A and B are shown apart, each in its own frame.
Chain A
Amino acid sequence: DSGVTQTPKHLITATGQRVTLRCSPRSGDLSVYWYQQSLDQGLQFLIQYYNGEERAKGNILERFSAQQFPDLHSELNLSSLELGDSALYFCASSGRDRGTPDTQYFGPGTRLTVL
């Protein structure tokens, strides 16, 4: 158990809809990362937040947005969903272990299916 929690575990929705994925980082971690992993694909970095502020932005679509709240949990909002958005979405956190700031701890993921 990495200590990172994600909800929901599974999400099935229709094209055009909007969903929100939630992530709680490990206790003490200030950084939260979001990744997308399509079937048999690698991990695509979407966005990173550090202590409530956006730190880095990767290949995140304009239809997607994220935020990190004062209690450090984060939400990823996906809107105008398309079939191609079906994927596993992982959240990861880091930062508590000062000696290895790049070590990320991944949550179990949210499997999104867009029908």
Chain B
Amino acid sequence: GQSLEQPSEVTAVEGAIVQINCTYQTSGFYGLSWYQQHDGGAPTFLSYNALDGLEETGRFSSFLSRSDSYGYLLLQELQMKDSASYFCAVRNYGQNFVFGPGTRLSVLP
């Protein structure tokens, strides 16, 4: 089967840098995606890694290492509005999308 693991909660202060890890066990997938979801809201796309390495999009960066079955989302210059849940997700070779359990990020003043 396929499963993704994430820390359940992360806390950081405004202006800091935080890394949210995603480890996975899946036989094969096309790429690793990251989504943000505020309480009561819909998930919104943040970043996608099709290949190993770092992808940078503004304050957010995402990394993938297929050999280590590992990826992470890096958030820099944290703002209060970044307080949300963050999900990693893969589309496996069976075309199914599998989402991680989510990491709740709390940004403190």
Contacts and interface: CB of A to CB of B under 8 A. Distances in A.
Interface of A: 2, 33, 35, 41-45, 48, 55-58, 90, 92, 100, 102-109
Interface of B: 30-31, 33, 35, 41-45, 48, 87, 89, 91, 94-102
A105 B97 contact: no
Contacts of B41: 108
Contact of A90 (B42, B96, B98, B100): B42
Helix, strand, loop or mixed for chain B's interface?
A: strand
B95 A43 contact: no
B45 A105 contact: yes
B17 to A, nearest CB: 25
Contacts of B94: 56
A90 B97 contact: no
A58 B90 CA distance: 13
A90 B33 CA distance: 17
B30 A102 contact: yes
Contacts of A43: 43, 87, 89, 99
B64 to A, nearest CB: 13
Contacts of A48: 95, 97
Given A100-B48, A107-B42, 17 more contacts: A41-B101, A42-B99, A43-B87, A43-B89, A43-B99, A45-B98, A45-B99, A48-B97, A55-B95, A56-B95, A56-B96, A56-B97, A92-B43, A102-B30, A103-B48, A104-B35, A108-B42
